[in-house]
Amino acid sequence: MQGAFMANRKSASGRKPRNLEQVAGNGLLHRRLFLTRGAAALGAGSLGLLTAARAQELPPWMRIPGAPMTGHGRRARYEEHIQRLTTSAPGTDGSGGSRTPLEALEGMITPSGLHFERHHSGVPDIDPDAHRLLIHGLVDQALFFDMDALSRYPMVSRIQFIECSGNSRLTGLAPEPVSGTCGELHGLVSCSEWTGVPLSILLDEAGLDPSAHWILAEGADAAAMTRSVPLAKAMDDALLAIYQNGERLRPENGYPVRLFLPGYEGNMSVKWLRRIKVTAAPMMTREETSKYTDLLPDGRSLMFTFPMDVKSVITSPSPGLELAGPGLYQISGMAWSGLGRVARVEVSADGGTSWAEAALTEPVLDKAVTRFRMAWRWNGAPAVIMSRAVDETGAVQPARDAIIAAKGVNFAYHYNGIQAWRVGADGQVVNIHV
The reply on whether position 392 binds a second copy by CB under 8 A is: no
Q: Which of residues 92-121 bind a second copy (CB under 8 A)?
A: 92-94, 96-98, 104-115, 117, 119, 121
Contact window for a second copy (CB under 8 A) among 165-173, 174-182, 243-251, 416-424: 243-251
Q: Which of residues 290-309 bind a second copy (CB under 8 A)?
A: none
Among 103, 163, 252, 391, binds a second copy (CB under 8 A): 252
The reply on whether position 250 binds a second copy by CB under 8 A is: yes
* C-alpha span between 240 and 26 (Å, rounded): 47
Among 24, 26, 27, 33, binds a second copy (CB under 8 A): 33
The reply on whether position 7 binds a second copy by CB under 8 A is: no
The pattern of x and - marking residues 135 through 164 that bind a second copy according to CB under 8 A reads: xx--xxxxxxxx-xxx-xxxxxx-x-----
Q: Which parts of 308-433 are beta strand (E)?
A: 311-316, 327-336, 342-348, 356-357, 359-360, 370-378, 383-391, 420-423, 429-432
* C-alpha span between 379 and 325 (Å, rounded): 8
Phi-psi region of 255 (alpha: psi -120 to 50; beta: other; left: phi over 0): beta
Nearer to a second copy, 173 or 323 (CB): 323
Which candidate, 172, 241, 236, 101, places its Cα nearest to that of 400? 172
The reply on whether position 16 binds a second copy by CB under 8 A is: no
* C-alpha span between 288 and 29 (Å, rounded): 45
Q: Which of residues 159-188 bind a second copy (CB under 8 A)?
A: 159
* C-alpha span between 213 and 223 (Å, rounded): 25
Calculate the CA 269 to chain-centre distance.
15
The reply on whether position 49 binds a second copy by CB under 8 A is: no
Report whether 86 contacts 97 (CB < 8 A). Answer: yes
Provide the 10 A C-beta neighbour count for residue 138. 19
Report whether 124 contacts 272 (CB < 8 A). Answer: yes
Nearer to a second copy, 54 or 281 (CB): 54
The reply on whether position 258 binds a second copy by CB under 8 A is: no
| Dihedral angle over CA of 25, 182, 102, 403, nearest 10 | -80
The reply on whether position 21 binds a second copy by CB under 8 A is: no
Nearer to a second copy, 6 or 173 (CB): 6
First vs last Cα of the chain: how many Å apart?
A: 36
Distances (CA, A) of 396 to 334, 350, 387, 393: 15, 19, 11, 9
* C-alpha span between 24 and 27 (Å, rounded): 7
Nearer to a second copy, 293 or 361 (CB): 361
The reply on whether position 237 binds a second copy by CB under 8 A is: yes
Q: Which of residues 197-216 bind a second copy (CB under 8 A)?
A: 198, 200-208
Q: In whole angstroms, how close is the CB of 61 to a second copy at the nearest point?
A: 4
The reply on whether position 67 binds a second copy by CB under 8 A is: yes
Q: In whole angstroms, how close is the CB of 38 to a second copy at the nearest point?
A: 3
Report whether 332 contacts 314 (CB < 8 A). Answer: yes
Contact window for a second copy (CB under 8 A) among 61-69, 397-405, 409-417, 422-430: 61-69
Question: Does the N-terminal peptide bond of residue 154 adopt cis geometry, omega within 30 degrees of 0?
Answer: no
* C-alpha span between 430 and 171 (Å, rounded): 12
Among 8, 23, 25, 82, binds a second copy (CB under 8 A): 82
Radius of gyration of the chain from its Cα atoms, rounded to whole angstroms? 24
Contact window for a second copy (CB under 8 A) among 162-170, 281-289, 357-365, 409-417: 357-365
Contact window for a second copy (CB under 8 A) among 8-16, 163-171, 393-401, 411-419: 8-16
Q: In whole angstroms, how close is the CB of 305 to a second copy at the nearest point?
A: 24
Q: Which of residues 325-344 bind a second copy (CB under 8 A)?
A: 327-330, 332
The reply on whether position 90 binds a second copy by CB under 8 A is: no
Nearer to a second copy, 88 or 305 (CB): 88
Q: In whole angstroms, how close is the CB of 53 to a second copy at the nearest point?
A: 11
Among 245, 267, 285, 387, binds a second copy (CB under 8 A): 245
Which candidate, 290, 147, 282, 287, places its Cα nearest to that of 223? 287
Single-letter residue type at 402: A
Nearer to a second copy, 272 or 306 (CB): 272
